[in-house]
Amino acid sequence: MKLSVPKEVAEGERRVALVPEVAKRLSPTGIELAVESGAGEAAYHPDSSYEEAGVSVSADAGFSGDVVAKVAPPSAEEIGRMSKGGVLIGFLQPLTAPDTVRALADAGVTSFAMEAIPRITRAQSMDALSSQATVAGYRAGLIAAEELPRFLPMLTTAAGTVRPAQVLVLGAGVAGLQAIATARRLGASVNAFDVRSAVKEQIESLGARFLELDLGLEDGEGSGGYARELTDEEQQKQRELLADAIGGMDAVISTAAIPGRPAPLLIIEDAIKQMKPGSVVVDIAAETGGNCELTEPGETVIKHDVKIVGPLGLPSTMPDHASALYARNISALVELMIDEGELKLDFEDEVLAGACITRDGEIVHEAAKKAAGGSTEPDGSSEAGGEAKSQDAEPEAPGSSEAGGEAKSQDAEPEAPGSSEAGGEPQSQDAGPEASRS
């Protein structure tokens, strides 16, 4: 079986689906590997590093494999280069890019979407949503620190004491937990809120405080461990309660999302008006519209003296590790597709069956079919995010889905309040909420 990797063509995409380190690990499986010249350049992997790892590199290698692995959804031109019956793996946006899905079906491509891999324990090593959200959450924490005209940690200096910055993280999924961990490491006093009460413990284990909002709801958890979409009334109440809390924050990092739906609106203009001048909002939900009313996706704007950053494509801003983690996800999925070095797709396997979007000229994924206008299934059939989520999905600490486990132990480990290392600053004197809890 031959696996090939093209150079990404989408604007701003710097990741690559295979890195030399993962190629070395795949070699013993008997898979032949080929990469298009320059494919890894933007992620700091020159052609020579692939060659050293036993990968053949050439200008026309990208679509030469039985299986083609990509990062971004394929362009029409790229789909045109796939052969009938060929296998394509990548982020395909099965629910929001119906034209791409239809084109893949029409071309007879057997496609697998990384977004649609069931988020079950067995498939954690293939969970690219988690690996890339880990990068996005980390970057969001750094952006908040960089944009803020204040220190994050408490400082005790000859010129007096600086109080730690108050940071609020909205949405404590994979990205949110990583943003919390990053802001804590930089010494901020972190508060976090999520509609799923199950994450309270995870938030607290990272040394942050769970923001209690009396929304009067049982729980915001829906199916498969994901949040449900709140009713209009619940959302309204949440926005009002949050506005007061946000007013006291130096930085807000918002990551709240409902799979397959636009991001919930959590931060209204009134909340921004209540923030101190110079405060910052980093809205990484900008990818799906934004959690803040004033977010302009892809832009940084200043409104009411508050800087509102709406970054897009955050994983691509850290292409080396984002690619390394993604390549491990790809490699774990590809290993599921081979038997003694030969391509063998077992559609009885729930991971392959759940992730498969098109096959034999048809759209076979129900939610994707519906999004493409080709299904009569009732509304409830559309799983959030298009994934066939299993009920045995378990809460996961940030970074824990990565096969290689790089830097995962630190993130997964509960962090004692005030213990985060910020260049040797005296965290124990932190007068923020952490200190008062301990």
Residue 298 phi/psi, 5-degree rounding, is 85, -5
Active site residue 339: no
Considering CB under 6 A, how many residues would be counted as binding ligand NAD? 36
The 233-252 contact track toward ligand NAD, x by CB under 6 A, reads -----x--------------
Using the rule CB under 6 A, is 258 a contact of ligand NAD?
Answer: yes
Q: Which of 119, 185, 328, 359 is catalytic?
A: 119
Active site residue 226: yes
Using alpha carbons only, give the angle 33, 4, 13 rounded to the nearest 5 degrees: 125
Using the rule CB under 6 A, is 130 a contact of ligand NAD?
Answer: yes
| Of 393, 403, 412, 422, the one binding ligand NAD by CB under 6 A | 393
| Of 7, 14, 196, 359, the one binding ligand NAD by CB under 6 A | 196
CA distances 111 to 80, 92, 200, 300, 353, Å, are: 14, 8, 37, 36, 11
The interface region with ligand NAD, picked from 77-85, 86-94, 308-316, 392-400 by CB under 6 A, is 392-400
Active site residue 127: yes
Using the rule CB under 6 A, is 262 a contact of ligand NAD?
Answer: no
| Of 259, 354, 417, 432, the one binding ligand NAD by CB under 6 A | 259
Tokens of 10: 């989408």
Burial label, 48 (beta-carbon count in 10 A; 0-12, 13-18, 19+): exposed
Using the rule CB under 6 A, is 399 a contact of ligand NAD?
Answer: no
Minimum CB distance to ligand NAD, residue 67 (Å) = 23
Q: How far apart are CA 385 and CA 259, in angstroms?
A: 4
Using the rule CB under 6 A, is 257 a contact of ligand NAD?
Answer: yes
Burial label, 2 (beta-carbon count in 10 A; 0-12, 13-18, 19+): middle
Cβ atoms within 10 Å, residue 246: 26
Minimum CB distance to ligand NAD, residue 381 (Å) = 19
Q: Which of 93, 130, 132, 166 is catalytic?
A: 130
Residue 5 · residue 17 · CB < 8 Å: yes
| Of 146, 394, 406, 413, the one binding ligand NAD by CB under 6 A | 394
Using the rule CB under 6 A, is 227 a contact of ligand NAD?
Answer: yes
Residue 73, C-beta contacts closer than 8 angstroms, at least 6 positions apart? 10, 90, 91, 92, 93, 97, 100
Say whether 383 sits in a helix, a strand or coil: coil
The interface region with ligand NAD, picked from 86-94, 164-172, 268-276, 307-315 by CB under 6 A, is 164-172
Using the rule CB under 6 A, is 256 a contact of ligand NAD?
Answer: yes
Q: Which of 64, 124, 125, 131 is catalytic?
A: 124
Active site residue 48: no
Burial label, 399 (beta-carbon count in 10 A; 0-12, 13-18, 19+): buried
Using the rule CB under 6 A, is 183 a contact of ligand NAD?
Answer: no
Residue 146, C-beta contacts closer than 8 angstroms, at least 6 positions apart? none
Active site residue 25: no
Minimum CB distance to ligand NAD, residue 331 (Å) = 17
Cβ atoms within 10 Å, residue 216: 8
Residue 117 · residue 387 · CB < 8 Å: yes
Using the rule CB under 6 A, is 127 a contact of ligand NAD?
Answer: yes
Using alpha carbons only, give the angle 435, 169, 299 rounded to the nearest 5 degrees: 140
Q: How far apart are CA 373 and CA 436, in angstroms?
A: 54
Pairing of β 306-309 and β 300-303: antiparallel
| Of 7, 119, 359, 369, the one binding ligand NAD by CB under 6 A | 119
Using the rule CB under 6 A, is 144 a contact of ligand NAD?
Answer: no
| Of 226, 250, 267, 310, the one binding ligand NAD by CB under 6 A | 226
The interface region with ligand NAD, picked from 30-38, 39-47, 151-159, 222-230 by CB under 6 A, is 222-230
Positions annotated as catalytic residues are 119, 124, 127, 130, 226
Which residues contact ligand NAD (rule: CB under 6 A)?
Answer: 119-121, 124, 127, 129-130, 133, 170-176, 193-196, 225-227, 230, 238, 255-259, 264, 266, 393-396, 401
